[in-house]
A and B are shown apart, each in its own frame.
Chain A
C-alpha cells in the first residue's frame, strides 16, 4: 500500500511533447510507472517514447483508462490544463509547472470545490511511492521502499531528507512535494490524514518552510487526530521579512509565517522538531523504536498479566485501536 499513487496508477502526461514533459516521461517509464498516454493538442497520433499522444485528456482517458494526470505545460497554459483534466474526470492531477499567477490558482481552487478531483501542486516535484510508481520529477535513485511518509513544500530539500533517510536504512511509503506556491491543491493537513489512514505508513516527516500558516494548521491537526509519530523540520529561520525566498509562497509578511512561529506550534503539539536536516533520520528511528517498544511491552505485559510494568512511550499516550480508529474518522478532507 501507499498514498495517492501505487502499482495501479495509470498516468497521462499533459505536455508530453515538450522538453520537460518528454524528459520526465522517460524518467517515469524507467522507474516503472505505467505511463499510458500523453496529451498535446494538435499532436494526436504521435508517439513519445512509444507512449501514444492524444489531442485531449478526454480522449486519452477514454482510450487508455488513465486515472492520474501529470502536467508539464508552461505556466500560462497550466490553469487550462488543470481544468481539462478535472473535466475529464481524472481523480488525481499533479501539476509540476512553476510560475502560475496566483489569480489563476484562486480560480482553480474555487472550481475544484466540491469536485472529486484532487490537485497536487503546482510548482512541485510530484510524488513517488518507492518500488511502485513515480509521478513527477523526483529522482528514483534516492528512495527506498519502507514505511516513512514524507511530505514537503520543497524540491531538493525533500530529496536531501529522503536520501538521508534511505542511507540510514529508513525506507519510504510515499514521498510528496506539495509545492512552493501560496495556493496549492493539497496541503500538509490533507497528506497527514492520508498517511494516518495508510497501513503502510508508520511515521511521517513533515518539511515546512516560511510563509502562510499550513504548518500551524498541520500542528493543530496532529494534536487532534494523528496517532502516528510525526517529525517536523522548518526551513527559513534566517530569512529576512518581506523577501520572497525563491518559492512564491516562501515569504514572511507582516511578521507572520516565520519559521520560529511554526516550530513553536509543532513543539507545543508535542512533535519533535529537527534543528538540522541531518537530525531527521535519528528522530524518525527513535519514534519508530518507541512505537515498536510500546507494542512489544504491551504484548509482554498481557502475557505476564503484569500491566504495572507497562512502559508508556515518551510523549504520546498509548491509544487503543478503537480510539485510534475513531480519531482517524475525525480527520476531515478539505471538501475535495
Chain B
C-alpha cells in the first residue's frame, strides 16, 4: 500500500524526523486558507500515488494568493498518468542550499533491509545507481537496527560540515526505525535538504507499506485513499481478487499469479494486447467468477475475455459449473473463450459445450481464438 506524501510526512514527524509544516487541501478555498498560515512563497504539491508528478506539472511554487488560486485550481482535478488529483499539499517553500537522498529498502538478495544514502539528491535514485553508482553508500541493517557509528559514517559521506552531520545522524536512525516499526517496504526521503539557514529537513517523503503486514497496523490500513486508486483495483481487492489494469483489449481471468502473467505474455506473443492481470485464486467459487466478470466488463476497452484455468487440486468440471452459474447470472455481451486443462478437463468441456460455450484445452489455441473474437467484436 502506497502512502501519500502528506501521510508519509506524518509518520516521519511522529518519529522525530524534521519535516516542513504543511496542510492538505481538496479545494481552492481550502488551499487559500491553508496558505494563510504560512508566508509566501508556498508550494502546491499534487498528492497522487504515482511517480513523475513534478514533470507532469503537479508541483508549483506560487508567490501570491492569486497565483495560488490559479495553480491549485489547475492541479486539483488534473490527470497525472491516468490518476486524478483529489488533494494538494500546501507547504512553505524552503530555501534550499544542498539536496541529498536517504532511503530504506529491502535488499532481496541479502535478505536484509538496506539504508541507501547519496549526496545526489532530488533525482531518481535508480538514475544515480545507473550513472554514478559511486555516489551511493549502502548500509545493510541487521537485527540491531542502524547503530549510531554507521549512521555517522553515512552522514560523513553526505556532508562535510560536522554541524550538519550531527543533524543527519538521528534522521537516519529514525528512518531505519520507521521502516521497521511500520512494516514498510520502502521509506524514502528525497530530497533530504540542507537549508541556507543550516537546517536539515525531509522535504519530500515516500512510504510504501507491506500489504501482508497491514493487519498489525489497523491505524495505517485506514489511511488507504480509495479515491486515488483505479476503481476496478479497489473492487477486486474487496472481493479477494488480485487485479491490475492494463491498456489492452483482451481481458483475462486466470487461476494463479504466475499463470496469469504467462497468459498476458502469450496474448501479446500472438499479437493481441492484454487488458489486465487477474488472479481468481484456487477456487471454483461462482461469486469470484462473477466479480471478475463485473470488473472486466466495467472496462470499456475489453472486447473479449479469456478464462484460463488449470485444474489441479480443484477439478475442471467444478470450475466449469462455477463458470456456468456465474455466466447465467450475468448478462455478458462480449465474446468469451474458455480454456481448461488438468483434472477432469474432458467432463468440463462437455458441460460447457452443452451450453454452446467454446472450451479449449490448449493455451496457445485459446489465446489465438480470443484474439480473433476480439477482432470480430471491434
Contacts and interface: CB of A to CB of B under 8 A. Distances in A.
Contacts of A244: 211, 244
B264 interface: yes
Nearest to B260: A246
B46 to A, nearest CB: 17
By CB atoms of chain B within 10 A, which of A233, A240, A246 has the most? A246
Contact of B341 (A138, A160, A255): A160
Most buried by B among A141, A238, A239, A254: A238
Interface stretch (B68-76, B155-163, B212-220): B212-220
How would you classify the secondary structure of chain B's contact residues: helix, strand, loop or mixed? mixed
Contacts of A103: 180, 183, 210, 213
Interface string B121-146: 00011100100000000000011000
B343 interface: yes
B261 A276 contact: no
Contacts of B50: 242
B113 interface: yes
Given A106-B112, A156-B310, A183-B111, A235 B258 contact: yes
B334 interface: no
Interface stretch (B16-24, B84-92, B266-274, B295-303): B266-274
A26 to B, nearest CB: 11
B325 interface: no
A132 to B, nearest CB: 19
A218 B282 CA distance: 29
B212 A99 contact: yes
A131 to B, nearest CB: 18
B256 A245 contact: no
Given A76-B215, A245-B260, A105 B111 contact: yes
Interface string B242-264: 10101000000011111111101
Contacts of A54: none
Given A238-B246, A246-B242, A110 B258 contact: no
Q: Point out which of B213, B242, B282 has the most chain A C-beta atoms below 10 A from its C-beta.
A: B213
B257 A250 contact: yes
B343 A180 contact: no
Interface in B78-123: 106, 108-109, 111-113
B312 A142 contact: yes
Interface in B282-314: 282, 310, 312-313
Contact of A213 (B109, B185, B213): B109
Contacts of A105: 111
A160 B340 CA distance: 11
A241 B352 CA distance: 37
B363 interface: yes
Contacts of B126: 254-256
Contact of A276 (B142, B266, B313): B266
B143 A110 contact: yes
A100 B265 contact: no
A152 to B, nearest CB: 7
Interface residues of B, number: 54
Most chain A CB inside 10 Å of its own CB: which residue of B216, B246, B260: B260
Contacts, number: 166
A236 interface: yes
B111 A156 contact: no
Given A156-B310, A239-B261, A240-B244, A278 B111 contact: no
Contacts of A266: none
Interface in A33-79: 75-76
A247 B113 CA distance: 20
A195 interface: no
B341 A163 contact: yes
Contacts of B343: 139, 141-142
Task: Give the one of A101, A249, A259 with max B CB within 10 A.
Answer: A101
B277 interface: yes
Contact of B211 (A110, A207, A248): A248
Interface residues of A, number: 63
A196 interface: no
Interface string B162-192: 0000000000000000001001010000000
Nearest to A109: B111
A159 interface: yes
A209 B310 contact: no
B147 interface: no
A213 B108 contact: yes
Nearest to A235: B261
A248 B312 contact: no
Contact of B277 (A100, A101, A154, A246): A246
Q: Which of B112, B129, B185 counts the most A-chain CB atoms under 10 A from its CB?
A: B185
B342 interface: yes
Contact of A277 (B180, B277, B363): B363
Given A235-B265, A238-B268, A245 B363 contact: no
Given A106-B111, A212-B109, A245-B277, A160 B265 contact: no
A236 B261 contact: yes
Point out which of B111, B277, B363, B364 has the most chain A C-beta atoms below 10 A from its C-beta. B111
Interface in A171-201: 180, 182-183
Interface of B: 50-51, 106, 108-109, 111-113, 124-126, 129, 142-143, 180, 183, 185, 210-213, 215-216, 242, 244, 246, 254-262, 264-269, 274, 277, 279, 282, 310, 312-313, 341-343, 362-364
Interface of A: 27, 75-76, 99-103, 105-107, 109-110, 137-139, 141-142, 152-160, 163, 180, 182-183, 207, 209-214, 217, 233, 235-240, 242-250, 254-256, 259, 275-278
